[in-house]
Amino acid sequence: MLTGGITKHPTTLADGRELIYYDDADTTLGPERATDARTLDPRPATATMRQDPLTGDWISIAAARQNRVFLPPANLDPLAPQSPGNPSEVPNRYDVAVFENRSPSFGPQLGALDLEGLGLGRTAPSHGRCEVVCFSPEHEGAFGSLSRSRARTVIEAWADRTAALSALPGVEQVFPFENRGEAIGVTLQHPHGQIYSYPYVTPRTQRLMASIEEFGPGLFESILEFELASERVLLQGEHWVAFVPFAARWPLEVHVLPRRHVPDLAETTEAERDELAPFYLRVLRGLDALYDTPTPYIAAWHQAPVRRMRDDIRLMLQVTSPRRAADRLKFLAGSEAAMGAWIGDVPPETQAEFIRGGIDRVGEIEW
């Protein structure tokens, strides 16, 4: 059951992939949806994972991704609604559309895997699901350029898909995210994000789990209290708090936490989702207001694993950008890339003051 007056229309694409339309509460679209009449090649086989014996990490070798579209012109945008000259992935005009990726890193096969242990030459199928979330039918933009109503629809789609994907066989963690800007490696200008559903708990989350084991189950509550007492707070609402973290790695780094414990987006309330729409828009528009050109970033929704430590791991948004000046980027060189030993370029307190200035210039977000 969706909240906020948002409706959904599930269907399938010509090759059997799932497609779901999410209509804004104030949509001007009708309920009818056209059939995908394309003739498509069979879906690529599920990729294979290989284990790195130095770390225990599983690496998906998804060779089919080499053929994906790279920065196409607007008239050949694969995420735009289909037209006579553009046989795109979405048959209809839409508000928000979610569909299975045609060249996924994980899936389409599903099922539980035995990934415990460590050894040489270990392989396993890359089970899981990868989905594309189209924020708008327009060719250019990002989440921050959406209307408040449309942002609310995307949040509802994230929550709905988190619940659905968490129920799939063998899925251990669900990760919604947005890559924005060519400096991040974006290959499509179309405003969109993705959702990865992994067959394992990701390495970043495994490190978090180890930290909770050492610190205790109140880690996130303690972090929130610590940051609220600092000069790094950027924005506060009834349900959400945004801040620059004490040990920020990136030149621009913003974390957003809900005030109450909630493990993932599917467990948020309607009131929390309603507030998150303008709150998140203001954060992203504030980052864009820092310079004369849009800020590249990765917006990552860290959610608790499907079956582990859900009472201890709190939903957290982390927005990171390599932009350290108007015309300069931070590149991950020897210390960061090779050793995982980060060096910050600017004190987090200085960056917090800088980002607050951008957020203040944006002002309130209207419907």
Per-residue pLDDT of the chain (367 residues), as tens digits, is: 799 999 999 999 999 999 999 999 999 999 899 999 999 999 999 999 999 999 999 999 998 887 777 888 999 999 999 999 999 999 999 999 999 999 999 999 999 999 999 999 999 999 999 999 999 999 999 999 999 999 999 999 999 999 999 999 999 999 999 999 999 988 889 999 999 999 999 999 999 999 999 999 999 999 999 999 999 999 999 999 999 999 999 999 999 999 999 999 999 999 999 999 999 999 999 999 999 999 999 999 999 999 999 999 999 999 999 999 999 999 988 999 999 999 998 999 999 999 999 999 998 776 5
The DSSP letter of residue 179 is E
192 is catalytic: yes
What is residue 238's predicted lDDT score, i.e. its pLDDT? 98
Q: What sections of the chain are H helices per DSSP?
A: 148-166, 203-215, 219-228, 270-288, 339, 348-362
pLDDT, residue 135, reads: 98
| Residue 15 token pair | 């090759």
Q: Which candidate in 192, 239, 255, 261 is catalytic?
A: 192
What are the chain's domains?
Answer: 7-42+64-116+124-200 (3.30.428.10), 205-362 (3.30.428.10)
Question: Could you count the other beta carbons within 10 Å of the beta carbon of residue 122?
Answer: 15
The pLDDT, as a whole number, for residue 367 is: 55
**Residue 100 tokens, joined:** 């299975």
Q: In the chain, how long is the greatest CA-to-CA distance? A: 59
Look at residue 363 in the predicted model and tell me its pLDDT.
Answer: 82
Angle at CA 56, nearest 5°, toward 46 and 312? Answer: 95
Residue 72, C-beta contacts closer than 8 angstroms, at least 6 positions apart:
78, 188
Q: What's the confidence (pLDDT) of residue 334?
A: 92
- The residue type found at 159 is A
- Helices 270-288, 148-166: inter-axial angle, 10-degree rounding: 120
The DSSP letter of residue 335 is I
Q: How far is CA 103 from the centre of its chain?
A: 18
**pLDDT for 64:** 81
Residue whose C-alpha is closest to residue 98's, from 161, 168, 20? 20
